[in-house]
Amino acid sequence: MFSKFKLAIDKDIRMSPELWTQLQEFGKIRHLKKNEYLLKAGQVCRHGYFINSGSLIQTFLNQNGKEIVQGFYVDEVYAFLSSVTSYFSEESSDFQIKAIENCEVIEYSKSQLEYLISNFQEFAVLFHKITARSFQYLYMFSAMRLSLNAEEFLLFLYHQHPVYMRRIPDKYIAQFMGVSKEWLSKLKKKIFKNNSLKS
């Protein structure tokens, strides 16, 4: 259950046996079914998660009740997730996190994470790195989406993040890009026809 988590941590820090024991004792395994919400708008995010398997999306619920896709979480790309703004502000989240595949995650409460930060210096370093990467990921994707046209952004995804094109359904990719699923399909055909990508 925890072997993948340990490999991810070992890439960033040298973990003491005491920290690893505590992480296993605190960690709670949760299973989510496809389309089940890990966090809903209006809830306060009081947990952090590691994705053992599966993929999820973060969405924003607009005034009309429509979900706007804001980001993706896939086990083989970036496995740490939380609603960062709600977690730190302790205010109700404007965002939702939904499983788009059956998922298994390891859950830690905010109080558990704060204990680990206070008692293990190496975990404080790890937590800082995870948080910084989360913001970097958010800003990078927002910048690329705003600075590229639809075709350029789709090529960016294919070349830089092909796992998203394999694992994330087209309807969510289209929502993230702000186009219809039909338009995305046409755009993909155009790209392959122009040999921008190998099929």
The predicted-structure confidence for 117-170, as pLDDT tens digits, reads as follows 999 999 999 999 999 988 888 888 888 888 999 999 999 999 999 999 999 999
Q: Among all chains, which residue has been given the structure tokens 């998660």?
A: 49
Predicted structure pTM score: 0.89
Q: Which residues of the chain have pLDDT under 70?
A: 195-199
Specify whether 90 is located in the same domain as 186.
no
Specify whether 130 is located in the same domain as 175.
no
Specify whether 23 is located in the same domain as 105.
yes
What's the CA gap between 121 and 26, in Å, rounded?
17
Domain containing residue 78: 3-146
What's the CA gap between 52 and 174, in Å, rounded?
26
Specify whether 186 is located in the same domain as 94.
no
